[in-house]
Amino acid sequence: MDIRRYKVEDFVLDPNFKRWVLKPTISDNLYWEGVFEKMPFKLNEAIHAREIIINLSHKKFNLSEIDQKLLWDSIDKDLSIDKEDEMLKIIPLHPVGILKGSTQKHFRNNRQNFVWVKVAVISIMLVFVGALAHSFFTKTVQIEEEPIVYEVKKSEPGVKMQLTLKDGTKVLLNSGSTFRYPKNFDLETRSVFLTGEAYFEIAKDSLRPFIVHSGDSKVTALGTSFIVNAYNTDQIDIALLEGKVAVKTAFDAKSQLLNPGEALLLDHTKGILKKREFNRDKILSWTNKTIFFDKTSLKEAISVLENWYGVKIVVHDIPREEIFFSGKFKEETLKNVLKGLSYASKFKFTINKDKVEIRF
């Protein structure tokens, strides 16, 4: 059947759509994403159908596809009466419908009401069937929802890690980061948890948002690419490269929307949000195996080098005036990086295995 003519029940009875809702794959995501890009006017019906499929899947009994179709046909037959009678028999599902039940506007919306009446009738019938089954069986089987099983990945200092999640999302973890994600995403959202820094390329799924939790903040996206820096969960930095994301914090009731090229700094200790533009080369430098210093403070530079090379750096005789570093180092050894920085900043250094001493 032509999807352009699909109603809610057609989506519910479509085995391919049902499979996508309950057990999505990368190929299914790509197919249905393409469908709704071409036919966005079908998205509402698809969303309603998805809710019905999920509700049916949570019940303690299953209807075969044939039984589901017979149920829809039966409801269609019972509700297919002439327009005057059908308006008298419709039970509004919203207070506005009750208040305006006798208006012409309500009459014009009768087709939409029919869909919701069908949904309501099916829900009532399912509850009735469940109650009836309970009365016939003295011993009931308690079905519990399966607990979410998480995978935890840790990239040690000096090591970066690349992951591809089951939905096709690509994640690149920077050194010293921890990433927790479910083995299988649920039917509603795709939620993951990050401490550290990661680059995300989100696989498109118009019905399930991708949510990155870091401390008390969360970044929500559908299909996009962005970087989250959350080494310090009190200060989180989000930079959007493509698409759109919404950022929600514990101290701000309103979600902050970012456009490509915008970054948002969250300071939870001070309750401050700061939106700004960012240097794309700098923000992506670590994903390209490049250290990028641009008027970087001594404290921040030391932290970057310790995490990048997995060493401990001790600084002696720090000058009173503030020191900043600038320079790019692609796939360089620690010795070469320190040598390059020492020319301008006039310091000496020694490297002994994983211990480094800098002396001004």
The more confidently predicted of residues 16 and 251 is: 16
| Cα–Cα distance for residue pair 45/203, rounded to 1 Å | 23
Summarised one tens digit per residue, pLDDT across range 252-272 is 778 889 999 999 999 888 888
Where along the chain do its domains lie? 3-136, 150-282, 289-359
Determine contact, residues 357/342, Cβ cutoff 8 Å: no
Q: What integer is the mean pLDDT of 221-236?
A: 88
Provide the pLDDT confidence category of residue 249 given band limits of 50, 70 and 90: confident
Determine contact, residues 206/222, Cβ cutoff 8 Å: yes
> What pTM does this model have?
0.63
Mean pLDDT value across the chain? 79
Summarised one tens digit per residue, pLDDT across range 143-169 is 455 678 899 999 999 999 999 999 999
Burial class (CB in 10 A: 0-12, 13-18, 19+), 287: middle
119 contacts: CB under 8 Å, gap ≥ 6: 8, 48, 52
Summarised one tens digit per residue, pLDDT across range 100-141 is 333 343 434 444 444 554 555 555 455 444 544 444 444 444
Amino acid 3: pLDDT? 85
**Chain-centre distance for alpha carbon 46:** 20
CATH architecture of the domain with residue range 150-282: Sandwich (2.60)
Question: Matching CATH topology for 150-282 and 289-359?
Answer: no
The more confidently predicted of residues 66 and 12 is: 12
Provide the pLDDT confidence category of residue 40 given band limits of 50, 70 and 90: confident
Amino acid 122: pLDDT? 54
**Given this structure, which CATH class describes domain 289-359?**
alpha beta
